[in-house]
Amino acid sequence: MTDARTRVLVVEDDADTAGFVRTVLERRGGMDVVLAGDAMSALAEVARQAPDVILTDIQMPGMSGLELLGELRSRAPGVPVAVMTAFASVDYAVEALRRNADEFLVKPVAAATLLDRVTALAAEGQARRAAAGRRDVVLAIGAHPDDVEIGVGATLASHRAAGDQVVILTMSGGAVGGDTQARRHEALAAAAVIGARLYLHDFEDTRMDPASGLITVIEETVRELSPTVVYTHSAHDRHQDHRAVHEAAMVATRRVPSLACFQSPSSTVDFRPTRFVPVDGFVETKLEMLAAFTSQSHRDYMEPDAVRASARYWSRFGSGRFAEPLETVRASAMLSGQVAVPAVADAPPALPAQRPGEVSA
């Protein structure tokens, strides 16, 4: 194991059991323990930062531990998961193993057994990550909630399917477009669809300026994550916040190997993509992410048919049935979790934005 403290997510609705597990792992194992009382809280925590080990009860209100296990396999690939139950039935054990649980524990669990099993799982998880080899760290930067999902939602889903780490950096709560608290919760739910981490900031909507902190925030995020791929707004955009974030990202990500700009509903006819990322199999995932933004469902560019039609149109310049367009700035790494797509020389001019007239995402 490395010198870094093992981070364990414990999903348990019983306060006494949760307290016991936390005490054993923290005091005797020197681990960092995060508690979640239900499955949805656990998924939100995984979206924020993937743990080294997840320990979940089976019997919980709402989504059960076994149902949660299925979600975790897609949202936290490679993270070992142990399930706990007070009912030592064969049926429970078989179902847990069928859903690829890494460990099955019967409560009450002895402190020594709990510590040994979690320690072994942490080592197993580290070995899995090492065996998987180097993965990309993808940073997607947007001005408002839903900007990134609209522009490269399917591309980000393909990165996650390939095992890449994905972080969404959103610079404002999008106050002009609705209630900021509601929009923040929507952004978190959208990120959770693909298991992305979400960083939210409070820059003033429609008043962003690269010199007023945007560059600093992006630089700090880059230092923390060391991303290999960055996606952000295009300069060819009517929205002033989109242009400000683009300018800030150009400065703050200057040492990142790969950088590309995505299309927004407010992009102008000067948006000229040079790369068309194939996203077959990920458009429906993108639609699931967009569906999380219920406060924006009245926007015509959020309509599933419009999203599918746009992806279908851009595929004519690349490969597959669906694609997302990008203006490539640098391309030292793969701009997709799938097979790399060559840049297209003399790419045709982009059509006008899907739905002109909106200035707030």
Which residue's entry shows tokens 């298991």?
195
Say how far apart CA 264 and CA 142 lie, in whole Å: 10
pLDDT confidence band for 350 (50 / 70 / 90): very low
- Lowest-confidence region among 47-61, 193-207, 257-271, 304-318: 47-61
In a domain, residue 338? The reply is no
Say how far apart CA 14 and CA 59 lie, in whole Å: 10
Residues 71 and 219 in one domain: no
**Domain with 106 in it: what CATH number?**
3.40.50.2300
Residues 117 and 148 in one domain: no
Say how far apart CA 106 and CA 110 lie, in whole Å: 10
Residues 109 and 222 in one domain: no
| Percent of the chain residues past pLDDT 70, beyond the cut | 85
Residues 146 and 92 in one domain: no
For residue 358, the model assigns a pLDDT of 34
The residue range of the domain holding 46 is 7-132
In a domain, residue 350? The reply is no
Residues linked to residue 8 through DSSP beta bridges, in sequence order: 33, 53
In a domain, residue 238? The reply is yes
Residues 262 and 201 in one domain: yes
The amino acid at 230: V
Residues 141 and 49 in one domain: no
Beta strands in 37-146 (DSSP E): 53-57, 81-85, 103-106, 137-142
pLDDT confidence band for 99 (50 / 70 / 90): low
Comparing C-alpha atoms, which of 287, 317, 292, 315 is closest to residue 303? 287
In a domain, residue 37? The reply is yes
Are 350 and 335 a contacting pair, CB within 8 Å?
A: no
Residues 149 and 77 in one domain: no
In a domain, residue 271? The reply is yes
Are 76 and 195 a contacting pair, CB within 8 Å?
A: yes
Residue 333, pLDDT > 60, answer no
Residues 19 and 141 in one domain: no
Q: Residue 353: what are its φ and ψ, rounded to 5°? A: -50, 150
The number of folded domains in the chain is: 2
- Lowest-confidence region among 282-286, 307-311, 356-360: 356-360
Domain boundary among the residues 98, 132, 166 is at 132
Domain boundary among the residues 132, 158, 184 is at 132
Residues 317 and 199 in one domain: yes
Q: Residue 54: what are its φ and ψ, rounded to 5°? A: -120, 130
For residue 95, the model assigns a pLDDT of 57
Per the model's pLDDT, the better-predicted residue between 332 and 26 turns out to be 26
Residues 170 and 290 in one domain: yes
**Domain with 212 in it: what CATH number?**
3.40.50.10320
Residues 144 and 269 in one domain: yes
For residue 10, the model assigns a pLDDT of 95
In a domain, residue 233? The reply is yes
For residue 103, the model assigns a pLDDT of 84
Mean pLDDT of the chain: 85
In a domain, residue 148? The reply is yes
Residue 297, pLDDT > 90, answer yes
Are 189 and 146 a contacting pair, CB within 8 Å?
A: no
For 33-85, the pLDDT digits (tens) are 999 998 888 888 887 788 999 999 887 777 777 778 777 876 777 789 988 88
Residue 162, pLDDT > 90, answer no
pLDDT confidence band for 295 (50 / 70 / 90): very high
Residues linked to residue 54 through DSSP beta bridges, in sequence order: 9, 81
Residues 107 and 151 in one domain: no
For residue 342, the model assigns a pLDDT of 32
In a domain, residue 265? The reply is yes
Q: How far is CA 346 from the centre of its chain?
A: 33
Say how far apart CA 322 and CA 265 lie, in whole Å: 18
Domain boundary among the residues 78, 113, 132 is at 132
Say how far apart CA 272 and CA 60 lie, in whole Å: 50
